[in-house]
Amino acid sequence: MEYKITSYNERDTAELAENIESEKFPNMVICLIGDLGSGKTVFVKAFANSLGIDEHITSPTFNIIKEYNDGEMPLYHMDVYRLEDAREDIGIEDYYDKSGITIIEWADMIKERLPEERLEIKFKIIDENTRVLVLTPYGRQYEEICEVVS
pLDDT in tens, 23-60: 999 999 999 999 999 999 999 999 999 999 999 888 76
Give pTM, 2 decimals: 0.94
Grouping H, G, I as helix, E, B as strand and the rest as coil, residue 76 is: strand
The bridge status of strand 65-68 relative to strand 75-79 is: antiparallel
Alpha-carbon distance of 33 to 144, in angstroms, equals 21
pLDDT at 91: 83
Q: Tell me the average pLDDT across 55-84.
A: 86
8 Å CB contact between 92 and 80: yes
Provide CB contacts within 8 A for 114, sequence distance 6+: 29, 31, 104, 107
pLDDT at 82: 74
pLDDT at 3: 98
DSSP 8-state code for residue 110: G
Q: Is the pLDDT of residue 86 over 80?
A: no
Provide CB contacts within 8 A for 27, sequence distance 6+: 96, 97, 98, 99, 100, 101, 102
Q: Is the pLDDT of residue 96 over 60?
A: yes
Fold of 3-149: Rossmann fold (3.40.50)
What are the sequence ranges of the domains in the chain?
3-149
Long-range contacts of 68-73 (CB under 8 A, 24+ apart): 72/24, 73/24, 73/26, 73/99, 73/100, 73/101
pLDDT at 84: 59
In the chain, what percentage of residues exceed pLDDT 70? Answer: 93
8 Å CB contact between 45 and 54: no
pLDDT at 60: 64
Residue 42 Cα to chain centre, angstroms: 10
pLDDT at 147: 96
Higher pLDDT, 123 or 150: 123
pLDDT at 58: 80
Long-range contacts of 51-59 (CB under 8 A, 24+ apart): 51/21, 51/24, 51/75, 51/101, 59/105
Alpha-carbon distance of 47 to 65, in angstroms, equals 16
